Structure 1
Amino acid sequence: MAKARFRSDASEAVHSAASGLYRAKVIDKKTMREYDDLCIEKAPEFDAKEIARIRKGVNVSQGVFAVYLNTTVSTVRQWEQGDKKPSGIAARMLQLVEKNGLGIFG
């Protein structure tokens, strides 16, 4: 499982304490989900135009972009047409490419 991205150091501490209480069966699963919602940063959402802008900004074809993001050309096309939304991990990858370019893939 990927490491959670917390909203702040304080959120991480609060979540850690809540996790301990959950493991000790002091709080229930519903309450733990509420702590997750409060403390863990959501994956970004990108619309079709933003995804196309990010890809064009790094000056690659849909095929090359798909290879970098470990997905298919069809998926990239569907994202850019608005037929499909990137999942959490794919959205994080898009966020990284938007911020750092393709150089992050070394």
Structure 2
Amino acid sequence: MSDDLKNIYAMAKRYHKHGVVKDETLKTVEARIKAADIPDVRPMTGEEIKEVRQRWNLSQSVLARTTGMSVESVSKWERGESKPNQAVLRIINMISDKGPEIFLS
């Protein structure tokens, strides 16, 4: 969290304590601060997607199932014929950073 956001949050909590800021407003500030901490989706080339899949020892079928896409889509991403949408790319980013175990219950 940036220093500016820390200062805004601290100020909102102080004002809340004194009754100047309502509960709903404090919750809104907290939600926006949490949202600001979500990293941007990192773009990935087909080669990078393939590297992530191989690093975690995943088949194209398993990556397809994890992302809710088809094996054909995964194959096209890896060959550079198409690109995954932002939601799928976020999933692949998460697998890259934390491994596929994050999707196990």
TM-score normalised to the size of structure 1? 0.61
Superimposed CA distance per residue, residues 52-83 of structure 1 (whole angstroms, 9 cap, x where no aligned partner): 00000110211111111111001100100001
Identity among equivalent pairs (%): 30
> How many residues of Structure 1 are paired with residues of Structure 2 in the alignment?
73
Structure index of larger Rg = 2
Distance in structure 1 (CA, Å) of the matches to 2:51 and 2:41: 18
Counterpart in 2 of 1:73?
A: 71
Unaligned runs of 5+ in 2: 9-35
Question: In angstroms, what is the RMSD of aligned CA positions?
Answer: 2.2
| Aligned equivalent of 2:46 | 48
TM-score, with length taken from structure 2: 0.61
Q: Kindly report which structure 2 residues correspond to 1:29-40, keeping only aligned pairs within 5 A, or say none.
A: none
Q: Where does structure 1 differ by over 6 angstroms across 4 or more consecutive aligned residues?
A: none
1:89 is matched with which residue?
A: 87
Relative to its length, the structure with more helix (as a share) is 2
